[in-house]
Amino acid sequence: MKKTILTLVIFFVSTTLTACQFGNVGSDKSITVYTERHYDTDQLLYDRFTELTGIKVNLIRDEADKLITRMNNEGEDSPADVLIIADAGRLHRAKEMDLFQSVTSDILTENVPNHYKDTNNFWYGLTMRARVFVYHPDRVNVSELSTYEDLTDPKWKGRIITRTSTNIYNQSLMSSMIEIMGEEAARAWATGLVQNFARDPQGNDRDQAKAVVSGVADLAIMNTYYIGRMLNSSDPNEVIVGETVRIFFPNQNTTGTHINVSGAGVAKYSQNVDEAIQLIEFLTSEEAQRSYADANYEYPINPSVEPHALLKSWGSFNVQDIPLSKLGEHSVLAIIIMNEIGWK
Ligand SMILES: [Fe+2]
């Protein structure tokens, strides 16, 4: 009996604490979120946020660049309170376009490591992904693999594929090389890489993995979560591709694997700043992070949350130690260099 009462007291105290942490229970406030994410599990999290805080969430879903353009056109009249988009390069662009405002909170400081947010707090990472080597184990021996820099070696002639230079993931990878190597060395790297391409860049990240399996190339540079998506695809051919290829995290003994984030910022003209911050706090919380990251087979940003079992099976890895805002700061130069050296 005593034990039951104690359990009940602990339950009451813990639920009250969880509710108080996010405040405003029972309010009729609502916020508008512009997001490029479209996962069913996200809706459950927004429902949970409403349950905890009483704040309703209106979702506007579209492609990231369209949301940015829309917010920019709406200006002060924009109904957006929070913008959620992928890639630090794109988040930086939104910041430069004056679409975000800088916000701080003790909870965000605790949940989001410095490495995964804007240096001036205009946006915070929500999930992390790595841009890795995906290779065919019959045609590549793992002992051949080491670094992004090594992909310029003549031994890779006609064996590598990745998507076009118009793609922001490759622009951010290029920006990271500029930050790490300097402009001239990064230009030489891109030149050598393009010389080893098996074909003119085409298709999305998934198409690169498919082309590796079909024999077009031996190694693709692509994002980790697409392998997770293919392994869990309703298309049996994608499952075969996911099961056939292997993942390699480059630069483990040097500068670390190139990573990127999806992230969120409070809209510059939000009329509901406190509520907007509460949502980002919730999305970075232990309770939300696991399912939020798992929805797209990404890594949680909150270090106290374990990644999905599939991601854990790929092993842990060292990440590039550069501020993610640099990916945005170098993006114009990255695009210029890629065009100049003929990365189509
Ligand atoms: Fe993607």
Contact 129, 225 (CB under 8 A): yes
User: What are 57-87's pLDDT values in tens digits?
Assistant: 999 999 999 999 999 999 999 999 999 999 9
Residue 264 has pLDDT above 70, yes or no: yes
Residues 138 and 223 in one domain: yes
| Residues 211, 103 share a domain | no
What is the C-alpha separation between 79 and 320, in angstroms, rounded?
36
User: pLDDT digit string (tens) for 99-109?
Assistant: 999 999 999 99
User: Are 193 and 328 part of one and the same domain?
Assistant: yes
Q: What is the pLDDT of residue 25?
A: 53
CA of 209 to the centre of ligand 1 (A): 14
Ligand 1 centroid to residue 163 C-alpha, Å: 12
Residue-level pLDDT at 193: 98
Shared domain for 334 and 210, answered yes or no, is: yes
- Write out the E strands in the chain: 30-35, 56-61, 82-86, 100-101, 124-135, 160-161, 219-223, 246-248, 259-267, 299-300
Cα separation, 115 vs 259, in Å, equals: 11
Q: How many domains does the chain have?
A: 2
The span from the CA of 81 to the CA of 97, in Å, is: 16
Q: How far is the CA of 251 from the centre of ligand 1 (A)?
A: 22
Query: Do 103 and 8 share a structural domain?
Result: yes
Mean pLDDT of 224-239: 97
Least confident of 21-30, 42-51, 108-117, 142-151: 21-30
Distance 265 CA to ligand 1 centre (A): 19
Inform me whether the pLDDT recorded for 262 exceeds 70. Answer: yes
Which residues are registered as beta bridge partners of 131? 223
What pTM value is reported for the model? 0.88
Q: Do residue 322 and residue 206 come from a single domain?
A: yes
Given this model, what pLDDT does residue 276 score? 98
- The pLDDT score that the predictor gives to residue 18 is 46
Q: Could you tell me the distance, in angstroms and rounded to a whole number, from the CA of residue 93 to the centre of ligand 1?
A: 17
pLDDT of residue 27: 62
At 167 the pLDDT is 94
Cβ atoms within 10 A of the Cβ of 49, count? 24
Same domain, yes or no: 195 and 325: yes
Residue 229 and residue 142 share a domain: yes
Q: Domain containing 154 — which CATH number?
A: 3.40.190.10
Residue 325 CA to ligand 1 centre (angstroms): 19
> How remote is the CA of residue 87 from the centroid of ligand 1, in Å?
9
Q: Report DSSP letters for 214-271, one per residue.
A: HTS-SEEEEETHHHHHHHT-SSHHHHHHHHH-EEE---TTTT-B-EEEEEEEEETT-S
pLDDT of 28 reads 81
| 29 alpha carbon – ligand 1 mean position (Å) | 32
pLDDT band at 26 (very low <50, low <70, confident <90, very high): low
Same domain, 177 and 203: yes
Please indicate, yes or no, whether residues 71 and 144 belong to a single structural domain of this protein: no
Whole-number pLDDT of residue 40: 86
pLDDT of res. 1:
42
pLDDT at residue 4 above 90? no
- Please check the confidence at residue 292 and state whether its pLDDT lies above 90: yes
Q: What is the mean pLDDT of residues 192-221?
A: 98
Instruction: Report d(CA 178, CA 334) in Å as an integer.
Output: 7
Q: Which domain, by its residues, includes 249?
A: 129-258+318-341
The mean pLDDT of 162-186, rounded to a whole number, is 97
* Pairing assessment for the beta strands 56-61 and 30-35 based on DSSP bridges: parallel
Could you tell me the distance, in angstroms and rounded to a whole number, from the CA of residue 59 to the centre of ligand 1? 20
Distance from Cα 172 to the centre of ligand 1, integer Å: 13
| Residues 91 and 25 occupy one common structural domain | yes
Is the model's pLDDT at 133 over the cut of 70? yes
Ligand 1 center to residue 179 CA distance, Å? 23
Read off the pLDDT band of 12 (50, 70, 90).
very low
**What average pLDDT does range 43-65 have in this prediction?**
97
Residue 269 has what pLDDT?
98
Contact by Cβ (8 Å): 300, 127: yes
Q: Check pLDDT > 60 for residue 266.
A: yes
144 and 286 in a single domain? The answer is no
Per-residue pLDDT averaged across 239-252, rounded?
98
Residue with tokens 């679409």: 99
Mean pLDDT of the chain: 93
